[in-house]
Structure 1
Amino acid sequence: MAERRYSEVQSVERAARVLLAFVKADSWGPTELAHHTGLHKSVVHRLLLTLAGSGLLQRDGESGQYSLGLVMAQLNPRGGANGALKRIARPFLQRLAAACGETIGLCVLEDNHGLCIDYIDSPQAMRFTVFEGERFPLNAGCIGKVILAFQPDAFVESLIAQKALKRYTKNTITDPGKLRAELLRIRRLGHAFSDSEMTPRSRSVGAPIHGPDGQVIAGLTISAPDFRMPNSKVDDFIAMVRDEAERLSYELGYPGNAAGTTTKEAKEKPDAL
């Protein structure tokens, strides 16, 4: 029993040595980390896999390098959870932007607003833009709705009680009953759709991003002029944003599908919009 306890403590000590190495550098490969820590490469490899599996570390699929994961930032919110999420999510935004050619936004919840923490502008001459640090209402547009839909009911009711449902266009949802129904629909389908809710002639689709514990921590959106996102193409945009959001959620340590359905199944639903 004493040997077992010693072995367990030794494993913790080795894991600590691996984590402390990230004070010296932002990322490490298994071989260089083994040299740095003085541990055998096979031990380092097992520790890296274990720490990455728990969300403490993050592995880059292309380089094979490991860096601190989102969970580490969440343990110390003042250390910059948004910065960690932005770094991890950036390749997913780039891939989505290349696939659709439209503006991409990554937003989180801040107080009773949505906050953009990263974006990629469309290369098109006519486009709808978002900016890092820009704040958005939670009742209008995909940026807000896709995050609000997965918040606790008490949060939604508090927002309604504050009379914070501001109108921007004739399509903005300001009626509490209609907003509740819209949020339930988004939660069931696993994606949101917006048609001129904040800016006339703009459309957007969005999907939630889940953290390791299953909580929705952000939203991923595509925004475009309505003539480049007609009804006939909305399902395609939904599939793209959902697929990338699901891949990013998995990368962050969330193994499940938030909506409980596949993207294909959601598209087949008659009320997918």
Structure 2
Amino acid sequence: MTTIDAVFPEPVVDGSGSRTLDRGLRLLSLVCASPVPLSVAEIATASGLHRSICYRLVRTLAHHDLLERDPDGRYGAGGGLAVLAGRLEPRLQAAARPHLERLAEQTGMTAFVVAAHGEDAVTVLVLEPQTGLAHVSYRPGGRHRLEVGAPGLAILAGRPEAAGERPEVTRARTRGWATSVGEVIPGYHAVAAPVVEADGQCRHAVAVVYAGEGDPARLGPALVDTARRIAADLA
């Protein structure tokens, strides 16, 4: 199971902020990072919080549609997260949407755009293909460290070389696209390309996510082309 420390910063302990709000946000991040819905007991174990505290936080988050309770009483990401994510970087979303739609249909895979926020990569826009038998369901608002997962690696590859960077970043900078397997969600593959804007800055990446077989060598060039188109429309 994903641990809360792996997906969110250290907790507030010095009185500089609201401890309750901090716990709620960390719990929300934990649930959203899990590949499967979690019970309150599982959330309590993974977060290290008392079960009664987790129950109150989960109920509050679900009331605001940030978490969603399934028929088995387990919790996953709620639809309210997509509403919040839809208000993030509207200019990027407007520029990326038509190209992301084309990419999703071209590959038959779920396509998405991430934005760098501090040391994290945040999923801003997700589009699923309208054709094909099956595809991965993925929600906006997901967050992970830039150093893990193809989208984060792609953003780093779009920037100047940094001391101590992962070999995968160096490789992605050379070929133009990054890959990862199971680094954000166990069992899932991702391929991503950096969106380098006219000012030379790389703040975003475009990616596809899939389960099972895929051909990164075929997907990579398609992602590079999509990234260039998005960058041109952002200029």
TM-score interval for Structure 1 and Structure 2 normalised by the shorter chain: 0.5 to 0.7
Q: 1:141 aligns with which of 146, 149, 172?
A: 149
Equivalent position of 1:105 in the other structure: 112
- Unmatched segments (≥5 aa) in structure 1: 1-79, 158-176, 254-273
Letter paired with 2:208: I
Q: 1:203 aligns with which of 158, 174, 189?
A: 189
Which of the pair has more CA radius of gyration? 1
Mapped pair 1:243 → 2:229: no
Q: Structure 2 vs 1, CA of residues 190 and 237 (structure 1 numbering), >3 Å: closer, same or farther?
A: same
Structure with the largest fraction of helix: 1
Separation in structure 2 between the aligned mates of residue 137 and residue 130 of structure 1, nearest angstrom = 17
1:207-229 superposed Cα distances (whole Å, 9 cap, x missing partner): 011222121121000111122x1
TM, length-normalised to structure 1: 0.49
SS at match of 2:166: helix
Mapped pair 1:216 → 2:223: no
Q: Where do residues 53-68 of structure 1 align in structure 2 (5 Å cutoff)?
A: none
Equivalent position of 1:39 in the other structure: none
> 2:155–2:205: 8 Å Cα contact kept in structure 1?
yes
1:156-180 superposed Cα distances (whole Å, 9 cap, x missing partner): 66xxxxxxxxxxxxxxxxxxx5x53
Q: Structure 2 vs 1, CA of residues 185 and 87 (structure 1 numbering), >3 Å: closer, same or farther?
A: same
Percent identity among equivalent residues?
26
Letter paired with 1:245: A
Equivalent position of 1:91 in the other structure: 98
Instruction: Say what the alpha-carbon RMSD is for the aligned residues.
Output: 2.3
SS at match of 1:140: coil
Equivalent position of 2:158 in the other structure: 150
Mapped pair 1:129 → 2:111: no
Equivalent position of 2:69 in the other structure: none
Separation in structure 2 between the aligned mates of residue 239 and residue 226 of structure 1, nearest angstrom = 20
> 1:127–1:224: 8 Å Cα contact kept in structure 2?
yes
- State how many pairs are aligned: 148
Letter paired with 1:121: E
